[in-house]
Amino acid sequence: MNVVVLGAGVIGVTTAYYMAKDGASVTVIDRQPGAGLETSYANGGQISANHVTPWATPSTPWKALRWLGRSDAPLLLHARWDPALAAWLARFLANCTRARVRINIERALGVALESRRQIARLRAETGIVYDALTRGILHIFRDPRDFHDALPGADLMTSLGCERRVVDAEGCIALEPALASVRDQLVGGIFSPQDESGDAHVFTRELARVCAERGVVFRFGETVRRLRPAAAGGARRIAAVETDRDEIEADVIIVALASFSPRLLAPLGLRLPVYPAKGYSVTVPVAGHAGAPTVSLIDDAFKMVYSRLGERLRIAGTGEFIGHDVRISEARGRFLLRTALELFPDCGDAGRAEFWAGLRPATPDGVPVIGRTGFENLFLNTGHGTLGWTMAAGSARILADVIAGRPAPVPLDGLALDRFA
């Protein structure tokens, strides 16, 4: 079976790995000169299976209203004519109900937990090293009301098979001593001991190397132009992938182009409600500084995450809806760095901080799109939002099972594109 995977981010490369593992002849196409150089390059670094609560919740619209006009808002909407965003927001608001939140959490959690199982196996199979830490993730709270409101969600996740431990302020410091300087600001935390962290870019690059050693062909620096459907008659199929260099035929075509997936699918009449949510990160060298955390953290007050990647600290956060614009706003980048230094004054060399922005492919319900389309040889693995690194291995395993006709390890209901019909 000849398989073409479009996209060499963490989703595309893990998909290629599992398809090759099934014996397929795999080709990966990406416009960048190497693997993992866009959304996967400098994300928050968390494999946070226990933190899949979607952005669409009953409280989100009210919080967004309070954040209007703030340049440092965790969620920032720009006033501009954008029909795609308007349609996406309408679907998003429809998912801001308690009933929808539970359904969406169950769907996303199934993928995330399977992914955590798969990545442990993948590490053992390949031996790749990517600054992985299996010390859990600590979600800290500074506002008593926010802490109180988060407890039912922790109970829900526990009922669905997660391990979530509620701890007080002293418990937070016991887990991460670097928080001691802000003891008076903490009201408590929720600890997920089975979650992980690591460098998604290094993981993607190293897994691509393993794939290449096993026969996967990577065509870097090549841009996909369109998917050409077969001539009328018979089953609906994609006849070929047209790029700026060539035309490629395949038995199976998998779209893993993150925020650019909708553009490729629209001419086929496939409406994929994925919209880019720009996120920012700052990476700070920590050598010679004693105040950097070693447990991966989520700071609820600012919706920011912290992950220790060897001798670096990754600081990430914010969601900005401004289309496909990846320009770095210095104000938002500096806000992340300043907030990190207030929390961890001696966390690293701020003068050598590296700023980055990338587009996260968000669906309105917070659940990725995995599975079949209306074309018999065209499949999707996209729309993972902020959880691409968390869900990559599980999504790839699930899709490989779907393509092979095997029973999937999680329920497939609500994962494919047809849920948006």
DSSP string for residues in 354-367: EEEEEEEEE-TTS-
Residue 158 in tokens: 């526990």
Residue 380 in tokens: 């999707």
What residue has token string 């670094």? 45
Compute, in degrees rounded to 10, the torsion defined by CA atoms 61, 64, 68, 70: 180
DSSP-assigned beta bridge partners for residue 276: 361
| Other C-beta atoms lying within 10 Å of the C-beta of residue 143 | 13
Over 80: is that where the pLDDT of 68 sits?
no
Q: For residues 259 and 234, what is the distance between their CA atoms, to the nearest angstrom?
A: 31
Q: For residues 144 and 299, what is the distance between their CA atoms, to the nearest angstrom?
A: 14
Over 90: is that where the pLDDT of 188 sits?
yes
Over 90: is that where the pLDDT of 421 sits?
no
**What pLDDT, on a 0 to 100 scale, did the predictor assign at position 77?**
74
**What pLDDT, on a 0 to 100 scale, did the predictor assign at position 66?**
72
Please state which of the ranges 318-322, 338-342, 374-378 shows the lowest mean pLDDT: 318-322
Q: For residues 74 and 50, what is the distance between their CA atoms, to the nearest angstrom?
A: 21
Over 80: is that where the pLDDT of 79 sits?
no
Q: Does the CA dihedral 244-245-249-254 come out positive or negative?
A: negative
**What pLDDT, on a 0 to 100 scale, did the predictor assign at position 143?**
94
Over 70: is that where the pLDDT of 71 sits?
no
φ, ψ of residue 5 in degrees (nearest 5): -105, 125
Task: Give percent of the chain with pLDDT exceeding 90.
Answer: 85
Q: For residues 135 and 131, what is the distance between their CA atoms, to the nearest angstrom?
A: 12
What count of Cα atoms within 13 Å lies in the side-chain half-sphere of residue 236? 10
Q: What is the pLDDT of residues 328-356, one digit of tens each?
A: 988 889 999 999 999 999 999 999 999 99
Interval 36-60 mean pLDDT:
93
Q: By the 8 A CB rule, do 334 and 292 touch?
A: no
φ, ψ of residue 110 in degrees (nearest 5): -60, -45
What count of Cα atoms within 13 Å lies in the side-chain half-sphere of residue 229? 18
Q: By the 8 A CB rule, do 408 and 401 touch?
A: yes
Strands of the sheet with 378-382, listed across from one edge:
217-220, 25-30, 2-6, 252-255, 378-382, 369-372
Interval 172-192 mean pLDDT:
96
Q: For residues 153 and 121, what is the distance between their CA atoms, to the nearest angstrom?
A: 29
Q: By the 8 A CB rule, do 65 and 47 touch?
A: no
Residue 374 is given by DSSP the state S
Interstrand relation of 304-309 and 369-372 (parallel, antiparallel or unpaired): unpaired
pTM to 2 decimal places = 0.95
What are the helix and strand counts (H, E) for the chain?
10, 20
Interval 70-94 mean pLDDT:
83
**What pLDDT, on a 0 to 100 scale, did the predictor assign at position 1?**
95
Cα of 267 vs its chain's centroid, Å: 26
What residue has token string 């390890």? 409
Contacts of 152 (CB under 8 A, 6+ apart): none
**What letter represents residue 369's amino acid?**
V
Interstrand relation of 25-30 and 2-6 (parallel, antiparallel or unpaired): parallel
Q: For residues 217 and 235, what is the distance between their CA atoms, to the nearest angstrom?
A: 28
Q: What is the pLDDT of residues 222-274, one digit of tens each?
A: 999 999 999 766 669 999 999 999 999 999 999 999 999 999 999 999 999 99
Q: What is the pLDDT of residues 351-361, one digit of tens each?
A: 999 999 999 99
Mean pLDDT of the chain: 94
